[in-house]
C-alpha cells in the first residue's frame, strides 16, 4: 500500500503498510510482518459530494406572444444585466433587443416577445438576476 524508510537511533527500517482497516494495521518492517492495533481510531476526512440542483419541473423557453395583454420577459439563465435598451413608456417591436444579459462570460441579447409599450423595467444595469426573475413587463 505505502512504503516508508525510517532511521531510528542509527538503525534503518524499511516499513510497508500492507492494509489498514478500522484500528488494525498490517505492516512489514525489514521483511517481518506485524499486526498493529492502534489505541485510537483515526478519523478519515470525507470528500464532500457534489449534488446538482434539478428544478422540480423542466423550464421551457418562453413562447412568443401574439395575444393582447401583458408580456413578462424573464431571465433565461442567471447572470448580470450589462445594458438596457428600453425604459418605461418605450415602444418596442416583436423580437427587438431590449437588454443584454451577461452569463458565463458571454453576452446574451434578450428580445421582446411581442410588440407593445414597456410598462415596467424591474432591473438596472449591474443587477444580478437568477433564472426566471422578471426583467421587463410589456403591454
Q: Determine the Cα–Cα distance for residues 61 and 75; give it in Å rounded to an integer.
A: 10
Q: Rounded to 5 degrees, what are φ and ψ at 80? A: -125, 135
- pLDDT tens digits for 64-113? 545 567 889 999 999 999 999 999 999 999 889 999 999 988 999 999 98
- Each domain of the chain, given as residue ranges in start order, spans 2-37, 71-138
> Of 77, 135, 136, whose CA–CA distance to 106 is shortest?
77
> Of 54, 61, 22, whose CA–CA distance to 39 is shortest?
22
pLDDT, residue 51, reads: 75
The conformation of residue 42, written as its DSSP 8-state character, comes to P
CB 96 within 8 A of CB 42: no
- pLDDT tens digits for 42-57? 566 777 777 777 767 6
Q: In the CATH scheme, what is the code of domain 71-138?
A: 2.40.50.100
Residue 130 has pLDDT above 90, yes or no: yes
21-25, 29-33, 58-62: range with lowest mean pLDDT: 58-62
Amino acid at each position: 500500500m505505502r512504503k516508508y524508510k525510517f532511521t531510528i537511533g542509527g538503525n534503518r527500517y524499511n516499513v510497508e503498510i500492507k492494509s489498514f482497516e478500522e484500528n488494525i494495521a498490517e505492516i512489514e518492517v525489514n521483511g517481518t510482518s506485524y499486526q498493529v492495533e492502534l489505541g485510537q481510531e483515526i478519523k478519515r476526512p470525507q470528500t464532500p459530494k457534489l449534488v446538482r440542483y434539478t428544478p422540480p419541473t423542466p423550464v421551457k423557453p418562453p413562447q412568443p406572444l401574439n395575444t393582447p395583454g401583458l408580456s413578462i420577459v424573464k431571465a433565461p439563465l442567471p447572470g448580470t444585466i450589462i445594458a438596457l435598451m428600453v425604459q418605461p413608456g418605450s415602444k418596442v417591436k416583436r423580437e427587438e433587443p431590449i437588454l443584454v444579459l451577461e452569463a458565463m462570460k458571454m453576452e446574451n441579447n434578450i428580445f421582446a416577445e411581442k410588440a407593445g409599450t414597456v410598462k415596467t423595467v424591474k432591473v438596472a444595469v449591474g443587477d444580478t438576476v437568477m433564472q426566471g426573475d422578471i426583467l421587463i413587463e410589456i403591454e
